[in-house]
Structure 1
Amino acid sequence: MHFIITDAWLARSRAIHLSGTRLVLAFFGLSLALMLLAASLYHWVFLKGAREGWPVVGTLVRLVVKDEFEQRDRFMRENLDAMARRVGEMQAKLVQLEALGERVSGLAGVNPNDIKVNAGRGGMLVEGRSLTMEELQATLADLERLSGTKSDLLTVMESRLFDQRIKKMMIPTQQPVKAGHLGSSFGWRIDPFNGRSALHTGLDFQADPGTPIQAAAGGVVVTSEYHFAYGNMVEIDHGNDLVTRYAHASRLLVNKGDIVRRGQHIGDVGSTGRSTGPHLHFEVLVQGVPQDPQRFLAAAQPGPPAQLVRR
């Protein structure tokens, strides 16, 4: 790039040649000079003027600072209002959770009055002032306390319901043979071998040989052996002095000490021992005393719970 400078008084001219590199350096040098000049002007006019109390500069500085503070305050207020709305939503959910806890408490055997840690709220909306940070922190602290109390109560109810479920799973209410039909019932009958009156201590389920025998409830196998009268026999302890007996099986699939679950396949129907044909003899004993198994099987149906009878 060429520049020609002409002096009218001296009547002479001078040519200046700038290459690309020199032009770039000149541009950056000019930019740097302008930046330094702007910084110096800011320092001299605004900062010095603000310190020494120049009227115009002081007014400008106050306006800038005021606008900055207003923006910061508006930002904080918007965030506080958003947090307050979230706190309101949390309070509403806590009320819903309390209502759910009251419904579940009856199933868990907990007094509903013991879980009322917060009263219902409502009414017409009347706008008021926004919450302060201190009020918001206090509300959050109350929510934390209430949620902690509610969590403890729900944990208690969960434990109660779990215990009830375990106890239910340990009561023999499931029919031990699905494919069979009921033969001899519990009570006195004519013995098929000697023709004399005798007590039948269980239920006979007529079924084809090999039909699966299922545990009527969960428990621990205490007997798995051959008995001269019961044939291949399994006894399962369900706790609380409650035992079920499965007799005349063609084969046994569990051993003494095994833990079985409700409905588990523990053997197959047969006609071993003192038996006239293939069937399952099913007994329920409480403290060693035979009970009518039909009362336990009927407990799985809607109606009053079975009553244990000790003879």
Structure 2
Amino acid sequence: MKLIIVNQRHANTKTIILKGWVKGLLSVCLLGAPVALGYIGYQLAISDNAFLLTEDTAHKWQQRLSFQKAELEELKQESKRELEALSLRLAMMQARLVRLDAMGERITRMSDFDNGEFDFSQPIVAVGGPALGENEFSESGFLDALSILEMQLEDRQDQLQILEDLLDDRKIQSEVFIAGRPIEQGWIASRFGQRPDPFTGRMSFHAGIDFTTGRAGADINTVASGVVT
């Protein structure tokens, strides 16, 4: 066997002749190295697969999956409890709104406003969609109910504000309107308009009406808002 070594710098070659046992040893190394590397790789692959597919590894994976499943179930239950609590608060707010509507209707009747001017009995309902059962909760149903309640509150707030303004105007008109007599028994001592001044005797304009009972200390009734002089 010959080995030819080429020197790239000087373009020279050198020949080495292998004989005997050196030739056989080199042949074994060149032919046996790929076989040995293939065998080692095969053994490593078998050992890795055996490690990954052991019963203990599968059991650990099963435990991890069970733990994640339990966490997911707990999260679902917690979300359901929170949704039920929010639904309960929503029901309480709706009940308060019903009582507020009843109070608004009563005030409207007592105030003798025109029928149809204020309507606290007509609920604002959404159109479409199936009704939920008593024990059924869903995020979409809760959000729909919350939106309806918000619209109802805005509508009732607007109506109550208008009703309050009208009642205030009516109260002011009632207070400034003069009605009745300031004394129980007595007579008009001086009327409104031109009259002789009781102090000077000259004609002067009287901007009021004088009542008298003919005695001091008589009770006086207020017939309108203002200051008694």
Where does residue 159 of structure 1 map in the other structure? 165
Unaligned runs of 5+ in 1: 1-48, 120-125, 186-200, 219-260, 267-311
Where does residue 145 of structure 1 map in the other structure? 151
Please give the TM-score of this superposition, normalised by the length of structure 1. 0.41
Shift in Å, 1:203: 7.3
1:88-167 mapped onto 2 (5 Å cutoff): 88-106=91-109, 107=111, 109-112=113-116, 114-115=118-119, 116-118=121-123, 128-167=134-173
Are the counterparts in 2 of residues 213 and 265 from structure 1 also a CA contact under 8 Å?
A: no
Are the counterparts in 1 of residues 180 and 223 from structure 2 also a CA contact under 8 Å?
A: yes
Unaligned runs of 5+ in 2: 1-51, 125-131, 190-207
Where does residue 228 of structure 2 map in the other structure? 265
Q: Which shows bigger deviation, 65-74 or 209-218?
A: 209-218
DSSP 3-state at the match of 1:265: coil
Structure 1 residues 54 and 108, CA, compared in 2 at 3 Å: closer, same or farther? farther
54, 59, 63: which one aligns with 1:56: 59
Shift in Å, 1:172: 1.5
Are the counterparts in 1 of residues 181 and 223 from structure 2 also a CA contact under 8 Å?
A: yes
Structure 1 residues 181 and 159, CA, compared in 2 at 3 Å: closer, same or farther? same
User: Structure 2: which amino acid aligns with 1:162?
Assistant: D
Q: Percent of aligned positions with the same letter in both sequences? A: 20
Distance 1:113 1:265 in 2: 39
Where does residue 66 of structure 1 map in the other structure? 69
Are the counterparts in 1 of residues 108 and 118 from structure 2 also a CA contact under 8 Å?
A: no
Shift in Å, 1:212: 8.6
DSSP 3-state at the match of 1:204: strand
Question: How many equivalent residue pairs?
Answer: 150
User: Structure 1: which amino acid aligns with 2:155?
Assistant: T
Runs of 4 or more off by more than 6 Å in structure 1? 210-214
Distance 1:174 1:84 in 2: 57
Are the counterparts in 2 of residues 176 and 215 from structure 1 also a CA contact under 8 Å?
A: yes
Distance 2:61 2:117 in 1: 66
Matched, 1:217 2:180: no
The root-mean-square deviation of aligned C-alpha atoms, in Å, is 3.5
Quick check: which one's strand share is greater? 1
Where does residue 37 of structure 1 map in the other structure? none
Distance 1:127 1:181 in 2: 71
Distance 2:136 2:214 in 1: 76
Quick check: which one's helix share is greater? 2
Are the counterparts in 2 of residues 108 and 161 from structure 1 also a CA contact under 8 Å?
A: no
Q: Which structure: larger Rg?
A: 2
Are the counterparts in 2 of residues 81 and 131 from structure 1 also a CA contact under 8 Å?
A: yes
DSSP 3-state at the match of 1:111: coil
Summarize deviations over 1:122-172 as a string: whole Å, max 9, x none: xxxx96442211110111000000110011011111111111111110112
Shift in Å, 1:216: 3.1
Structure 1 residues 113 and 164, CA, compared in 2 at 3 Å: closer, same or farther? closer
Distance 1:75 1:207 in 2: 84
